[in-house]
Amino acid sequence: MAPVELPQTAAAAGPPPHSPPPHSLGSSIAHLRERWGWFAALGVAFILFGAIAFGSLVAATVATVLVNGIMMVLGGVAEIAIGLHMKTWSRLVLLCAAGALLVIGGILCYFNPVLASIVLTLFLGAALCAAGMVRIYVASQMGADTPWRIAILSGLVTFFLGVIILAKWPVDSLYVLGLFLAIDLVFYGTALLGLAFQLRTHHQHD
């Protein structure tokens, strides 16, 4: 008698050869491709928020200062909590003092956002100037086979942006932080839209 071949069931046959195993990187990417619409909607929302911020830079500056104040208070409380667990008095006092300064700065941002924006804008301009000079110095130490010209150009742009902010300080304190927030929102929204369209293209090809 000839042996009888039993048909293989779908479970015995195993998954299709091209389907990624569950909880793998491929399955996660496939899941993201199916949700490309959410990324597109989020990108449009960020661009709209950026456009609103462009329309009211003063309000955007105040919002930026308030959010920064909340982060400073939370960071200060966390630093004080860490300092209280230190075993040496020097570290305890240092961390608690630094945390207290952060909390005071955060409270100042809440009760006087205009004054806080003046201080933050001054720090921003100084930081951009310092960062630009560091980039220029690092670029000058790069080899001839590296993109040192682009690095120097980036440093010059950053440096002169800081100079412009400092030259118009403190008048520009009412809109500089809001302008940076608006630009960041628009660029982030544009990046999300680009990611969404890329996911949509791959999803259609699949």
Counting beta carbons within 10 angstroms of the beta carbon of residue 15, is it exposed (0 to 12), middle (13 to 18) or buried (19 or more)? exposed
- What's the token pair of residue 146? 């590296």
Counting beta carbons within 10 angstroms of the beta carbon of residue 167, is it exposed (0 to 12), middle (13 to 18) or buried (19 or more)? exposed
Residue keyed to tokens 């996911």: 199
Threshold 0.75, pTM exceeds:
no
Q: Please state, in angstroms and rounded to a whole number, the distance separating the CA atoms of residues 62 and 122.
A: 15
Radius of gyration of the chain (CA): 27
Indicate the average pLDDT of the chain.
Answer: 80
For residue range 25-80, list pLDDT tens digits in order.
455 555 666 677 787 888 899 889 889 988 888 888 888 889 888 998 998 898 88
In the chain, where are the structural domains located?
A: 37-205
Give 176's contacts (C-beta < 8 A, 6+ positions apart): 61, 121, 124, 165
For residue range 130-158, list pLDDT tens digits in order.
988 988 888 888 777 777 788 888 889 88
Q: Please state, in angstroms and rounded to a whole number, the distance separating the CA atoms of residues 148 and 126.
A: 24
